[in-house]
Amino acid sequence: MKPDFNQSRRPLSVWIALLYLPLGVQMLFWMMGFGHVDFSLPNSLMGIPDMLLRYYIGVTVLLYPAFFAYGLFYALHLNRTGAPAWKVVRASFIPFLSAAPYLLVGEMQATFA
């Protein structure tokens, strides 16, 4: 343990868990409700761009919980090992930054639909 580690500070793991666990469950239900995961093949060559967009949407939707969990547990790990608070907070932004491709997919789908 580091000699300058402050034992009296409130652990950020409690706040991170209270914030991210309900958000993660909520995001999981939103993704299931959207129903964008579709890996069917196109009927013609003209349907290939739409198929590639649907594949990208499906992969992004399926991988988002993995990015979310990585950000959560990495931030918890940093907090447990006594990292400075700014590093823990920076790591806790990983789930939000990983949502950017998912949000862009929604914009792309609205454009091409």
Name residues whose C-beta falls within 8 Å of residue 78's C-beta, 6 or more positions apart in sequence.
87, 88, 91
Say if residues 20 and 72 touch (Cβ distance below 8 Å): yes
Can you list the alpha helix ranges (DSSP code H) found in 11-98?
12-34, 48-80, 85-92, 94-97
**Domain boundary assignment for the chain:** 37-112
Instruction: Judge whether residue 8 has pLDDT over 70.
Output: no
d(CA 100, CA 79): 25
pLDDT digits (tens, 9 = 90+) for 101-110: 667 767 777 7
The beta strand positions in the chain, using DSSP E, are: none
Over residues 11-21, mean pLDDT: 69
